Every structure is written in structure tokens, then in C-alpha cells.
Chains A and B, each alone.
Chain A
Amino acid sequence: MSPLPQSLPATDPTQNPPLSEVAAALAPYIHTRAETLRIRRLLSAHLAASLTHEESTDGETPITHLTLGAPPSTLVVKRTPKELQGGGDARVRAAYLSALQSHAVAKKRYQALRDEIEELRQSQVVDSASRDVNRGDGAAEEYIQLVKLRRRVERTKVVDKAVERVCDARLVEGGAGGIGKRRTGVRETDREGDVVMDGGISRSAEGRGRGGRGRGGRGRGGGINTERLQREVLKHVGDGARPPSMRNITPDRQSSLVELQVTGWLNSKASSNDDRGVSSLITFLERHATKRSALFRQRGGKAATGSRIKRSRVEGDTLHIFVLQQEYESYSRLNNFVFAGKSITVTCENPPRSRSPHNSGTSPEPANEVQQLIQDLLSRRFDYSSKLLSLNALGTDEQLQEIGMFKTPETQSKFFLATMKVCSAQFQTAEEKRETIQSVSLADNNLPNLSIVTSLAQTFPDLKNLDLSGNKIENTSALGAWRHKFRHLEQLLLNNNPIEKLQPGWEVEVMKWFPKLRLLNGIQVRTDAQLAQMDQSKAIPLVQAPDFRDEGGIVQNLLLKFFTAFDSDRPALANMYYDNDCSFSLNVNTHALRDKDAQEMLKQSWDPYIRISRNLKHLNNPKVRTNRKITGPEEITKTWAQIPATRHPALTSEFHKWVIECASQPGVPDPTGTYPQGVTGFMVTVHGEYEEPIPSRQDRTMRRSFDRTFVLGPGGPLKVRILSDILTVRAYGGSAAFRLGLPVAAPIIAPVVAPAAMTPVTEQDLMVLELAKITGLTLEVAKQCLETSNWNLHTAMGTFETHKATLPPTAFA
């Protein structure tokens, strides 16, 4: 829209004859200054007529062609210009314009809605301020709101039910009234939301005193007082509002109550009490149920909270008790218990479905009955203080015998597997399991081998003490299933097994299987010092200094130049050491172990490498295999250009980051053809690291580790060429493996030059290389030449020219 310059000065080159055609073509678009101004005015007037600010134009920016470069958001198109109401193109433009208008309207609505949502969200954030909510994520917040609403609904249901039941119970006992008030109380609680809910828990805890436990009013006259009812209600609210655990988001059946019926207590010795012995019966039931469920509740040093009866009522000779669903099993086991001289019957009309919160829905669960039996067994057989699970003499367990669990090996095996499963389900983490159960006894089970109990190793892999005494194990092969299992086993008992007599020396073998074993049949088989030493030697088997067999510093000189040049000038390097007989290939080990302390843990992108990676383990296409073996300096240069920039640590000052080994290698090609069988070269293996820029983050680098193998042979401008070059790049793995080897002296067979012993590369070295390169002298002779020339390269060149004719052929490389 901006007008073109009215005219160009006469001196302007465009006005010169060669470009007159251009000037002529542009003429219709070139206007005088006055014309331009008029056009501008017209434009402004047109725009002002067509556009308007949404609200009053007071104080708004005037609409001109200048201000429309960045139109304000309030701007709207007032009308569709008349000239666009024709046909053809104009109609399209009109349509576009109206679409634009609709778009503007939609955008405005969108903005308004967003503002509204934002406002709502803000208020909700305030509402949930007591929770530690990550506010950054809108989706998560919405989800949390949803979950909260669901919970609130559940809670309301619980409260409703509770109110109903409380009322029923009170009405049965002859109380009346107060319902209206109670309802009010409930509603208030609900409206106040989470904060009050949490308060509800603490208040319900207060209410756990004798008075507040749902049977408190009994025997003291049943007048209904609102406060107590409220407390009653709050208690249920508290139960409903208990924060769900991580793996169980919805407040489900765990928090609902189960009703059991207790009969047979009517004429007990306690029946002469005021309440016919009901309160002592309840205490009795609670005490025993707590014992039944106490097994794993005690873990972590926490005292058992107890299996409380939430509510109760008496109807004739039946005591109805209401307990949390998860307590159901503890109570149902009290069937046939003897209370004050009378055997009581505990029944349930609607038993809850089997409870196994840790099992996934798909895995087959042991039958309910068996599961109860197992839980019962575990609670009887686990000793929390000694962290010992005694599964000894299971065959003589009366309860197990009753259901025929030990009739056949199949049922035994199934039973044991189920037991292990139930055990596992008690723990949420492996750590918890490890801490809670450290010892298992399988003594006196007549086990001839481990086929029945083999799953113990999977269930308790970190066991410290294991008792297998009093079984029928005859030899170590009967124990084979646990060979190399129980990596932390410290004590093993195999007393009173036939193996002791039948397989002399069995101890030695068993010892080998369990690396941490200290006590075998009560006899110390390893001392702490031995264990410590074993740990060390297992961790790093014999890391030693490198084996480096160079001759005349050939390899050393090459390496000193090589990595510096690889970092700075790859094309030059390729032309220096590689010719058309030389090959390079690279592969990436994406599985390599990483140095966990290094920041490089985070980011590993291999893109530039993967394109050229030649890992024969995965690369099966023969054509690709061939293509990715790069031959000749030109191709090598091209390939190297694809490798990200590198910076290797200096070989001389940071030698601890390197391991370089070198061995002689006969049969390498002789470029002169003198020796068709080849001559002796070197095979060099290099392990080290380099820094590489991180593409997305300027001036940041990441480290990588590499392994590189060269085969060196004679040839090329420097008389040494790299015939083969295989490079493996992997995630940074640190240099700890190399460092640990340093204090150990290398056994000397041939002259050994460790990288540590490499002389720093000096100017003199470079001069020697340079002179050798120019003259073709061996490095040795070139050095002598420079020495006699007082380390002046120019003088040395003169010296060489002077003595060239008299030098023996051996002086040349």
C-alpha cells in the first residue's frame, strides 16, 4: 500500500537509456508527490468509512492506513464496501470479508469464554489451596476437580446412609426427633468441602473415646443429643473422606461397611451385666479381630490401629455389627470362638467379594476360602519382631490338613504358590517386603527338592536367612533351582538333611552359589574381610595398565597428531593418513552403560551417527554393509563431515581419560610391492572420550565415550597410513575403569610405553615430523639433522640438501 517514490532523480542510473524500458513499464505506478498525497487521503477516508472500533471511538487510535499496520483488537469491519457487491472476484472478496468478520466475532467469544474459564479456575485454585496441586497443568487440574466432585458425591452418599442408619439405630432404642437438625449439619459439612472433611477425620479420632464409638450411649439412657449425633455423622464422613491411597483413587468398597451377625452369646457368663454382656462381647470381638488382622499392619513400627466395630445393634438374640469391609475377614474368623464360656457364631448374610487390592484384576486369584486360610496361616506364622516367616512343618498344620492341602504334590505346590502370592500382595514395594520379611523357615517339610517351594526365590529374592533343616534333600542338585538366587543370603541351615552324609563337600558348592553367605549350618564360612575383598575383586576384575608396544614412536607420533587433527581439520587428516586402500567405518552402541553421575544422562541423540552406523549385528543388507564401509580419503572426508564436531581431551595432559593399546601386526599391505606377503604394522586400540556440541543448546557440550581400533601400515605421505579405522561411539561411561588400573604396574614383557609415559608433544616434535615429511627421512634421522642444525628448520633443510647424496638408504623411511 505504501506509495512508490513519485519519480526518480534524473541522475539516477535507472533513468539512463539502458533501463528506460523498465521505467516505461513502471510509469503507471509512479506518481507525483501531490498525487501520492491525494491517494493516501482517499485511502484513509475509505478505511475510516469501512472500519470502526467495536465500542465508542473516543480516545481510540484513529483509523488510517498508517495505524492499520498493527490493527487493534477492537477493530471491526463496519460494512462490506459497495464496490465488492458486484460479481466474480468481487463476490469472493466480499465472502472473504464476511468470513473475516465472523472470525473476529468467534475470536471475541473465544476470548470471553477463556477469560471466564480462567476466572473459574482461579477461584477453584483458591478453593483447593489446601491441597498440594500442581497448578501448571490445566488438564490435570480439571481431572482433579472431577475426582474431587466424584469423591464428594461418594461422601454425600456415605453421609446419607450413615444418617439413615444412625437414625434407625436411635429410633430402635427409643429416641426421637432431631432429624431436621442433623440434616442441616450434614449439608453444612458437605458445602464446606475438603477442609472440613479433613477436620472430620480428626474430630472422629477424638470421638474414638468410649463415648463416640457408636455404642457409647448404650446403657446410659438413649436421649438423643444433636452434638453427639453430629459427631456420629462426622465420624462416618471421616471414614468416607479418608484420602484414597495412590493406587485406589475412587473411594470404593474399602470404605463401605459390612454387616455381620453374632449369635450364641446370650447366655454367656457376661450376660448378667447391665447390657446383657453386649459391650464386653464387642470388646472381645474387637480384640480378637485386631489380632487376626495385625500381621502386616504392624509393619513399619506403627502400632495396630485396631479393628473397630463401627456400629452395632441388638435384635433379639442377634448382635448386628458393622465393620469396615477390609476388616470383614478378621471378624468372620471369629466364628466358633468361645466368649465367656459360650461358643459364638459369626455369620454374614452378604459377604463382600474377596479382597485383594494388590492383585491385578486379570490374574487368577486363589479361591476366597483358600485365601482366607492363607492369610490366617500367615498371621499365625509371622513374627514381626524377628522378621521371620515360619512356614515350617506345614504338613502338620491342622487347619491345612483339614482342607486336604497336603494330599498331593500338586496341591502342595499350588498352595505354596498361592501363599507366596498372598504374601507379595501385602507389600506395596520390594523395599517394604525386604524390610519386613528377612527370614523364612521351611524346616521339617519333608522336601526332597525345591520343586514345591521354588517360588520363594521370586517372592523373597533378598532374603537374609533361610532355614531348610529337617527336610529330605539328598544332594546339591536338589537345590539347583536356587543356585545363584538369594544374592543377599547370609545364613543357610541345611541341618538334618541326607545331603550331610550323602554328598561330602556339599558345603563348598553351596557356598559358591550364595556370594554373601556367612553362616552355613551355623558355621562361619566367610569372614567380613573376605566378603569385602570379594566385593572388590568382583567389581573390577584385574584392571591393568595398557599394553603398548610401539616401535620408534611411530604409533605415538601418529596418535599425538591424530585426535587434534580430527577435532580441527578432518579433511587434512584424511588426506594425511588415508589413501585408497584405507577404510573407515563407525557404529553406535546405544545400549552402553552410562556414567550415572554425569549430566549426559539426560540427553542422548544419535541421529547424525545412526545414518552412517555400521553395526553388523543389526545391519543385514549386504549392500548397506558394503556402502557403510567407507574407503579412500575423499569418501572418508565426506563421511567425517557428517560426524558432529568433536573435542578430544589432550593425550598428554589428560592421559587418565585414555587407554591406548598397541600390538604389532604382521601381513599388512606393503604399498611398494616389495613384500607381497605384507609387512609388519600395528594394531592400535584406543578407548577415550570427547566433547560434542549439543545442537539445541549453543555453547553447551556433551561427552561421549568411544572405542576406536586402527591398523597401521607403511605408506602415504607421512610413511604411515591407517589401513583400517573402526570407531564405536557410545554414551559417556566415564573413565573410572581406566583410572583404577593405573596404580597396578603393568607386567613387562616387551618395552612398554603407557600413555602416561608419552612425552608431551613439543615444537621440536612437530619440527621433526615436518622435516621428515618434506625430506622423506626417518623420524630418527630427521631429529639428528635438526639437532645438528640447532633446531632451525630452515638450516636443517640446508643441512639435508648438503648431505643428501651421502646419506645411506636406511636414513629414509
Chain B
Amino acid sequence: MAGAVDFANIAQQFVKFYYEQFDTNRGNLGALYRHQSMLTFEGTPAQGADAILEKLQSLPFTSVQHRTDTLDAQPSSEEGGILVLVTGALLVEGSERPMSFTQTFQLRPEAGTFYVFNDVFRLVYPAA
């Protein structure tokens, strides 16, 4: 499997970029998805860059801060895809307690760059 690709670094850069954008300007995240991309946010699926962006924009908070605690990645597909598992905590506007989340990304290469093919987000510990 595409051993030449430094998937770990790519995953790291991707995760940094993704959460920075998410916390500052969610609208920029649209560029990371394609029409075949799939987001499953807390069990709610959305397919295609437009639908995903709409879903992300319509989340019931205007500002959010992510903190990533762990990040691991493995190569996952014939054409050099990368599986990324992130866990961490987020703090939404108006709440004082952080919530634990995990997010799994499936990155696929496309013309020298990567896009998000699968994105599964889940809160695993609620704000009590």
C-alpha cells in the first residue's frame, strides 16, 4: 500500500487545518469535500459537499472550539487513502463544559491533494 506517502504527516496537517477552519470559519470546510463525500454527524448523514456544508453551517451553535487530544492514522486504500481517528473535546458557545468527541476521517487522494471521503463525527461524552 502506498508506502511512499507520508500519511502520518498528511493526517496531522489535515487535522490541524480542519479544526482551525471549523473553529474560525466553518464555511471554508466546503472545499474539503466532494460530491461523493459523506458526513455522518451524530448519526445524521449528509452526502455531497453542498449538503455537508449546509449541515455544518446549521449546527446549533455559532462558535465552537475544538481541542484534539489524540490523532492516529493508517493508510487504508489501494489508491493511497488515509484513515484518521481523532479524539478530543469541544466547547460550544454558551456552554461551560467541554464535551468529548471522536471523529473519523477517510481521506482520499485527488490530483496531488486529499479530500474527505468519509467523515463520522460523534460526541462520546455529554456536557453534564
Please tell me if the beta carbons of A728 and B79 are within 8 angstroms of each other in the complex.
no
Contacting residues of chain B (106-128) with chain A, CB-CB under 8 angstroms: 106, 108, 117-118, 120, 122-128
Q: Which residues of B contact A587 (CB under 8 A)?
A: 70-72
Please state if A593 and B89 are interface contacts (CB–CB under 8 Å).
yes
Give bound CA distance, A723 to B106, whole Å.
13
The 5 closest A-B pairs by CB, nearest first: A544-B43, A733-B125, A678-B78, A667-B77, A515-B94
Contact yes or no, B127 A705, CB < 8 A: no
C-alpha spacing A439/B45, complex, angstroms: 47
Contact B78 A592 (CB under 8 A): no
Is A661 positioned at the interface, with any CB of B under 8 Å from its CB? yes
Chain B CB within 10 A, most for which of A484, A593, A669, A741: A593
B47, B67, B122: the one within 8 Å of A687 (CB): B122
Are A723 and B92 interface neighbours, CB within 8 A? no
Q: Which of A543, A617, A629, A666 contacts B42 (CB 8 A)?
A: A543
The interface residues of chain B lying within 8 Å CB-to-CB of A678 are 77-79
| Number of A-B residue pairs with CB-CB distance less than 8 Å in the complex they form | 195
CA distance A378 to B38 in the complex (A): 60
Would you give the 0/1 interface string for B48-67, flagging 1 where the beta carbon is closer than 8 Å to chain A?
Answer: 00000000000111100001
**Inter-chain contact A726/B83, CB cutoff 8 Å:** yes
Choose, from A142-150, A444-452, A533-541, the stretch at the interface.
A533-541
Bound CA span A542–B44, Å: 9
Q: Which residues of A contact B93 (CB under 8 A)?
A: 484, 515
**A663, B120: Cβ atoms closer than 8 Å:** yes
Question: Is A260 part of the contact surface with B, judged by Cβ < 8 Å?
Answer: no
Assembly CA distance A743 to B124 (angstroms): 17
Known A663-B120, A723-B76, A733-B125; 12 more pairs at CB < 8 Å? A515-B94, A534-B94, A543-B126, A585-B74, A591-B67, A593-B125, A663-B38, A668-B77, A678-B79, A726-B73, A728-B72, A737-B126
In Å, the complex CA distance between A308 and B38 comes to 76
Chain A 649-684, CB-CB to B under 8 Å as 1, else 0, gives 000000000010101011111100000111000010
Cα A195 to Cα B118 in complex, Å, equals 74
Is there a chain B Cβ closer than 8 Å to A470's Cβ?
no
Residues of A within 8 A of B79 (CB): 667, 677-678
Cβ of A540 and Cβ of B123 under 8 Å apart?
A: yes
- 24 A-B interface contacts by CB (under 8 A): A512-B62, A538-B94, A539-B126, A547-B45, A585-B72, A593-B125, A615-B69, A616-B72, A616-B73, A617-B12, A629-B74, A659-B124, A661-B120, A663-B120, A667-B81, A669-B77, A677-B78, A677-B79, A685-B102, A687-B102, A728-B72, A741-B42, A746-B44, A747-B44
Please determine whether A591 and B120 come into contact, CB atoms closer than 8 angstroms. no
Minimum C-beta distance from A539 to chain B (A): 5
Give the chain B neighbours of A512 by CB distance below 8 A. 62
B87 and A707 form a contact (CB under 8 A): yes
Q: Shortest Cβ distance from A736 into chain B, in angstroms?
A: 5
What is the chain A residue whose CB lies nearest that of B98?
A: A593
Q: Give the residue of A588, A596, A726, A733 whose beta carbon is less than 8 angstroms from that of B85.
A: A726
Interface assignment of A43: CB less than 8 Å from any CB of chain B: no
Choice from A589, A665, A723, A746 contacting B87 with Cβ under 8 Å: A589
Contact A741 B43 (CB under 8 A): yes
- Smallest beta-carbon distance B24→chain A, Å: 15
* B127 touching A583, Cβ below 8 Å: no
Per-residue CB proximity of A719-738 to B under 8 Å, as 1/0?
A: 00001101010100110111
Contacts of B43 in A (CB 8 A): 543-547, 661, 741, 746
A615 vs B11: C-alpha distance when bound (angstroms): 12
Cβ contact within 8 Å between B44 and A683: no
- Assess the A707–B45 pair: CB atoms within 8 A: no
- Are B126 and A665 in contact, with the CB atoms below 8 A? no
A749 touches B45 (CB 8 A): yes
Are the C-beta atoms of A616 and B126 separated by less than 8 Å?
Answer: no
Chain B residue at minimal CB-CB distance from A591: B69
- Asked if A250 CB lies within 8 Å of chain B CBs, one says no
Provide the residues of chain A in CB contact with B117, threshold 8 Å: 665
Could you tell me if A542 and B83 are in contact, using CB atoms closer than 8 angstroms? no
Say yes or no: A724-B83 contact (C-beta < 8 A), given A615-B71, A615-B72.
Answer: yes
Chain B residues within 8 Å of A324, by CB: none
List of A residues within 8 angstroms of B73 by Cβ:
616, 726
In angstroms, Cα B69 to Cα A581, docked, is: 28
| Chain B residue contacts of A393, Cβ below 8 A | none
Is A595 part of the contact surface with B, judged by Cβ < 8 Å? yes
A733 & B96 in contact (Cβ 8 Å cutoff): no
Chain A 573-607: CB-based contact to B (< 8 A → 1; otherwise 0): 00000000101011111111101100000000000
A179 lies within 8 A of chain B by Cβ: no
In the docked arrangement, what's the CA distance between A527 and B108, Å? 48
Q: Does A625 interact with chain B (Cβ within 8 Å)? A: yes
A616 CB contacts on chain B under 8 angstroms:
8, 11-12, 71-73
In angstroms, Cα B117 to Cα A665, docked, is 9
Please measure, in the bound complex, the distance between the C-alpha atom of A534 and the C-alpha atom of B95, giving whole angstroms: 10
Interface residue tally for chain A (C-beta within 8 Å): 70
A774 at the interface (CB under 8 A from B): no
- Give the docked Cα–Cα distance between A667 and B118 (Å): 13
Q: Are A592 and B125 in contact (CB under 8 A)?
A: yes
* CB-based contact B94/A667 at 8 Å: no
| Closest Cβ neighbor of B100 among chain A residues | A593
Separation of A687 and B122 alpha carbons in the complex (Å): 9
- Expressed in whole angstroms, the minimum distance between the Cβ of A131 and any Cβ of chain B is 39
A311 touches B (CB below 8 Å): no
Which residues of chain B are within 8 angstroms of A586 by Cβ–Cβ distance? 72
Bound-state CA distance A802–B7 (Å) is 50
Chain B residues whose C-beta falls within 8 Å of the C-beta of A589 in the assembled complex: 69-70, 87-88
- Please tell me which one of the listed residues A541, A667, A687 contacts residue B124 in the complex, with CB atoms under 8 A apart: A687
Give every chain A residue within 8 A of B76 (Cβ-Cβ): 665, 668, 711, 723-724
Q: Is the CB of A736 within 8 A of B125?
A: yes
Give Cα A606 to B113, complex, Å.
Answer: 37
| Beta-carbon nearest neighbor of A515 in chain B | B94
Task: Flag whether B1 is at the interface (Cβ < 8 A).
Answer: yes
Q: Are A709 and B118 in contact (CB under 8 A)?
A: no
Is the C-beta of A740 less than 8 angstroms from some C-beta in chain B?
Answer: yes
For residues 746 through 761 of chain A, which have their beta carbon under 8 Å from a beta carbon of chain B? Answer: 746-747, 749
- Asked if B40 and A661 make an inter-chain contact with CB atoms under 8 angstroms apart, the answer reads yes
Question: Would you give the shortest CB distance from A734 to chain B, in whole angstroms?
Answer: 7
Contact A683 B45 (CB under 8 A): no
A746, B44: Cα distance in complex, Å: 7
A299-337 vs B: 1/0 string, CB under 8 Å? 000000000000000000000000000000000000000
Distance in Å: Cβ of B28 to nearest Cβ of chain A: 21
**Interchain CA distance A428-B11 in the complex, whole Å:** 48
The verdict on A228 contacting chain B, using a C-beta distance below 8 Å, is: no
Give bound CA distance, A184 to B98, whole Å. 66
For chain A residues 679-718, which have a beta carbon within 8 Å of chain B? 683, 685, 687, 705, 707, 709, 711
**Are B8 and A661 neighbours in the complex by a CB distance under 8 Å?**
no
Name the residue on B nearest A537 (C-beta). Answer: B60
Check if B74 sits within 8 Å of A592, measured CB to CB.
Answer: no
**CA separation between A616 and B40, bound complex, in Å?**
24
Nearest residue, chain B, Cβ from A594:
B125
Q: How far is the CA of A749 from the CA of B70 in the complex (A)?
A: 32
Q: In the complex, what residues of B have CB within 8 A of residue A740's CB?
A: 126
Nearest chain-A residue to B120 (Cβ)?
A685
Complex contacts, B8 vs chain A, CB 8 Å: 616, 622, 625
Nearest CB in chain B: distance from A629 CB, A = 6
Question: For A590, A683, A687, which residue has the most chain B Cβ atoms within 10 angstroms?
Answer: A683
User: Are A683 and B74 in contact (CB-based, < 8 A)?
Assistant: no
Known: A683-B120, A728-B87. A588 touches B70 (CB 8 A): yes
Is B99 part of the contact surface with A, judged by Cβ < 8 Å?
A: yes
Name B40's contact: one of A547, A615, A736 (CB within 8 Å). Answer: A547
A487 interface residue, CB < 8 Å from B? yes
Q: Which of B1, B47, B76, B98 has the largest count of A CB atoms less than 10 A from its CB?
A: B76
B61: chain A residues at CB < 8 Å are: 538, 541
Interface: A152 (CB within 8 A): no
- What's the Cα separation between A588 and B77 when bound, in Å? 25
Residue of chain B at shortest CB distance from A512: B62
B71 & A711 in contact (Cβ 8 Å cutoff): no
Contact B68 A737 (CB under 8 A): no
